[in-house]
Chains A and B, each alone.
Chain A
Amino acid sequence: NAGVMQNPRHLVRRRGQEARLRCSPVKGHSHVYWYRQLPEEGLKFMVYLQKENIIDESGMPKERFSAEFPKEGPSILRIQQVVRGDSAAYFCASSGQAEAFFGQGTRLTVV
């Protein structure tokens, strides 16, 4: 069991480009969560997905951000037209029937 795998670990994008962050949950887990951690802040919930469904996106910015968890393959967090303020660590977690397990995060830097 490799745990939650996120890639890439580090991503550099220029302003206006797109960023795609991937998360492979623990094998057998059907719940995926994305969090963002801005510098000097705690983790903030963004979105909760089950296979092919968005369950709760109350923490997602209204524009430029989207997430999916297809039937096959990893969950994707997509940020379009990135701005400097999107620079942060993005964490993914997955859960089955009990606790959530976290990935090591993707550190996005927008230059």
Chain B
Amino acid sequence: AQRVTQPEKLLSVFKGAPVELKCNYSYSGSPELFWYVQYSRQRLQLLLRHISRESIKGFTADLNKGETSFHLKKPFAQEEDSAMYYCALSAGGTSYGKLTFGQGTILTVHP
């Protein structure tokens, strides 16, 4: 069975501070990992996926298969980064929308 764990329900940082949102997963195969973000009153949207290895809005995430982690990082947090963040796992293949989500982390960036 696949599982995604986000150990922090709430995370608060000050503007300009580094931020790291933790995500650990368990899956026996080769997963695809994603980070989704939900800003206030908006729909869930894809932030980044490990396959593309790109940086979006200054966020990066590296898949560490040894530690089964996919932590989301940003060196300098901005107030507009305040949102709910979900880590998600897909078994791959063509069903891109069948995802296992973590419980989410609410990030608050204080001025």
Enumerate chain A interface residues (CB-CB to B < 8 A).
Answer: 3-4, 31-33, 35, 40-45, 48, 55-56, 91, 93-95, 97-105
Q: Would you call A56 and B101 a contact (CB within 8 A)?
A: no
Q: Tell me the minimal C-beta distance from B103 to chain A in angstroms.
A: 4
Given contacts A42-B86, A99-B46, A103-B43, contact A56 B98 (CB under 8 A): yes
Partner of B98, one of A3, A45, A91, A101: A45
Residues on A with beta carbons closer than 8 Å to the beta carbon of B56:
none
Decide: B43 and A104 in contact? CB cutoff 8 A: yes
Residues of B within 8 A of A33 (CB): 97-99
Across the interface, do B97 and A95 meet the contact criterion of CB distance under 8 Å?
yes
In the complex formed, the residue of B with least CB distance to A40 is: B103
Which B residues between 33 and 47 are near A, CB-CB below 8 angstroms? 36, 42-46
Contacting pair B44 A42 (CB below 8 A): no
Contact with B101, one of A4, A44, A48, A101 (Cβ below 8 angstroms): A44
